[in-house]
């Protein structure tokens, strides 16, 4: 009886989970195989070594947070404001291990120590900002204001998880909603 191989994507997903929890050092073939409940031999059918897996994790993450997110936003149609609302919803949902906050933060931390990862992150951030710039620019004629709105929206996406401040009588969700309305005005 033939044994089913663990799909390539499962190795990448599990590698990203490990990366999200413990950084690149936690992405180890043996521990991934154990988490997947398989032998590590199947790994080598897809990847030549651990470095190849790490590269594939980063490449997959880049596609997920740029191309796939933009495709999802565009598929819903609507004007620029509607697309921005959809973008904010998708970006804030963390509905996949690839696009969630733990992966984002782990890759940003890794980029602080690895120039190749830093270059990938710069490319991803530039692509995200360029897309937002095109949307904000559709209804905001002031280029400086478009840039400010992009930076504020993007900073909230990344930095919101680090802010522990109280907001007086308002909840964080209420303040974020006020900010969203202001950004879209």
How confident is the model over 132-146, as pLDDT tens digits? 999 999 999 999 999
Q: Please compute, for residue 127, the number of CA atoms within 13 A of its CA located in the half-sphere on the CB side.
A: 15
pLDDT of residue 4: 57
pLDDT of residue 1: 42
pLDDT of residue 47: 94
Q: Where are the domains of the chain?
A: 8-183
pLDDT of residue 50: 97
Q: How far apart are CA 49 and CA 27, in angstroms?
A: 11
Q: How far apart are CA 155 and CA 126, in angstroms?
A: 13
Q: How far apart are CA 71 and CA 183, in angstroms?
A: 22
Dmax (CA) of the chain: 66
Q: Which CATH superfamily is domain 8-183 in?
A: Tetracycline Repressor, domain 2 (1.10.357.10)
Residue 167 pairs in a beta bridge with: 170
pTM: 0.90
Q: How far apart are CA 17 and CA 165, in angstroms?
A: 29
């Amino acid at each position: 009886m033939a044994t089913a191989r663990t799909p390539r994507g499962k190795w990448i997903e599990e590698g990203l989970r490990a990366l999200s929890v413990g950084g690149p050092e936690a992405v180890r073939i043996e521990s991934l195989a154990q988490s997947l409940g398989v032998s590590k031999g199947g790994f080598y059918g897809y990847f030549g070594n651990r470095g190849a897996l790490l590269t594939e994790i980063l490449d997959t993450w880049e596609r997920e947070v740029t191309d796939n997110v933009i495709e999802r936003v565009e598929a819903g149609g609507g004007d620029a404001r509607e697309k921005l609302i959809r973008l904010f919803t998708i970006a804030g949902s963390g509905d996949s291990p690839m696009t969630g906050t733990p992966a984002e933060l782990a890759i940003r931390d890794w980029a602080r120590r690895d120039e190749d990862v830093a270059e990938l992150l710069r490319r991803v951030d530039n692509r995200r900002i360029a897309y937002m710039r095109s949307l904000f620019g559709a209804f905001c004629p002031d280029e400086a204001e478009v840039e400010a709105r992009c930076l504020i929206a993007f900073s909230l996406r990344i930095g919101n998880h680090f802010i522990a401040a109280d907001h007086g009588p308002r909840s964080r969700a209420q303040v974020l909603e006020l900010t969203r309305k202001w950004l879209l005005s």
